[in-house]
Amino acid sequence: MTISKKIIAVCCIVTHLATSCSANKKSSNDTLNSIKQTTTKVVKTPKRPNIIMILCDDLGYSDVGFNGSKDIKTPALDALANTGTKFTSAYVPHPFCGPSRAGIMTGRYAHTIGAQFNLPPNSETIGEGIDVNEKFMSKMLQESGYKTGLVGKWHLGANAKFHPNKRGFDYFYGFLGGGHEYHPKIYKQKYKAAEKKGQKIIFDYLKPLEENGTNVTNDTEYLTDVLSNQGVHFIEESSKKEDPFFLFMSYNAPHTPLEAKKEDMEVFSSIKDKNRRTYAAMVYAVDRGVSKIVKSLKTTGEYDNTLIIFYSDNGGRPDKGANNFPLKGRKGSVYEGGYRVPMFFHWPNIVPSGMIYDKPISALDLYPTFSKLAEAKLPDSKILDGKDMWTNFMENKEVHVNDNIFTMRHRNGFSDVGVRNGKWKAVKAFKEKWKLFDIEKDIAESKDISSKHPNVLKKLVEDAKVWSKSHIQPRWWHNEKTGEEWKADGMPHFDQAFNLEN
């Protein structure tokens, strides 16, 4: 049989599998694997799936088994990733938490809405949050008929008008700040001690968890386990209704403070470094939670019609146990280690099983992609910086043909910038000159080839300069000192940032 006839035959089989209720999971997955590189014919996507978005906090690029970890066990995540599609060139909008999450939820680069810095601790004291005129993906899905839930971290505004229940979430269980301690017995004691002293402002990380605006008192387990259990609760309740659901599992782990359960630490007793061992145990707890979520989906009959997305909000911190190998940089960096993250999609018999998608995508693409899957109507005024990636991804085609994927991080007196377009990556970091890398051949960004391709570098820098014109001044800074320095320095100094001679 000729190659072309083989492709036609396989396509016919896949078409049949998409409509046949007798097709089993293994045969469908095997067929998808066989055609992933040779044909654009794919299984027809069912309408309006459940969507579960699982987001870790400060997870290193190689700190899950499916992305190369040798010492951290993540069996539940690995099982999903290996029977789904792994993305090896997935980027988030920013190299640290708040702006990255703002970008994900609004579908826009945080710099364009004045959210390029983290909200400060206890942000209710400054009364700021993400512009209420920006429609979050949760609100878009809610308006299209989805039941929506957020479990875990928020960090997008603590005042009433910025509350998750006002931004499109029917259900919220978690905390409003940028992080939280993990052992309730300890953080509750600290909170009570602060109250007893008469402190009017008590650190976010110690505050009671809340459920739809009401303080929680029955959280007695390790934080990650509490959040996982609430995710299961949301799935069980949502499954009783006809409408699809959207669950944002916004884990705090493995963000600092490094705190783990004793029994989880024992699983990694072979790891000598204390930070790494604790960090590994924290990731392991997330994996345990994901196994509970999968079990719940199967028990409720929702598993086959649920798209699961897993990734991190930014890169990891090696000084706090993370490993970003083989990437250069870390959380906060515009090198790959700052904002290139582990990621997978899983949806039984729909998302290709065992496929590796190595072309660049952005978490900004999730908003328009979810909109398509949900058949949601977006107002003409809604600005989105990403693309609906679904069709191209399913056909293993490039999503961002000749598109730039940007990142920018402001420092004291200067700005770091990263631009990726296809195989090219341009970087300006730490007041050094612009550098150019072939990121497909040099994932570690070790060989500057700007002198060999000056016109490529010039074009990328010019594109980044044009992009910067859409930015507005920050609406807040992560602390008062940074805001004072910003104004005194006349930041952001884009005249310097985009000067190739500088």
What length does the chain have? 502
Among 165, 138, 156, 155, which residue's Cα sits nearest to residue 246? 138
CA quadruple 175, 177, 181, 186: dihedral positive or negative?
negative
The H-or-E segment that residue 143 falls in is helix 137-143
Q: Are residues 232 and 112 in the same domain?
A: yes
Whether a cis peptide bond, with omega within 30° of 0, leads into 254 is: yes
pTM of the model: 0.91
| CA–CA gap between residue 17 and residue 29 (Å, rounded) | 10
What type of residue sits at position 105? M
**Stretches in the chain below the pLDDT threshold 70:** 1-42
| CA–CA gap between residue 502 and residue 492 (Å, rounded) | 15
* Beta bridge pairs of residue 427: 418, 435
| CA–CA gap between residue 384 and residue 86 (Å, rounded) | 24
Q: Are residues 264 and 315 in the same domain?
A: yes
Residue 4: the pLDDT is 37
| CA–CA gap between residue 476 and residue 447 (Å, rounded) | 37
Q: Are residues 55 and 31 in the same domain?
A: no
Residue 7: the pLDDT is 36
- Is residue 354 one of the residues assigned to a domain? no
Place of tokens 């870390």: 330
Residues of the domain holding 12: 3-35
Question: CA-CA distances (angstroms) from residue 309 to 170, 249, 436?
Answer: 20, 10, 31
Q: Are residues 320 and 196 in the same domain?
A: yes
Residue 12: the pLDDT is 35
pLDDT in tens, 132-189: 999 999 999 999 999 999 999 999 999 999 999 999 999 999 999 999 999 999 999 9
Q: Are residues 318 and 221 in the same domain?
A: yes
The H-or-E segment that residue 218 falls in is none
Q: Are residues 119 and 222 in the same domain?
A: yes
The total number of structural domains in the chain stands at 3
- Is residue 394 one of the residues assigned to a domain? no
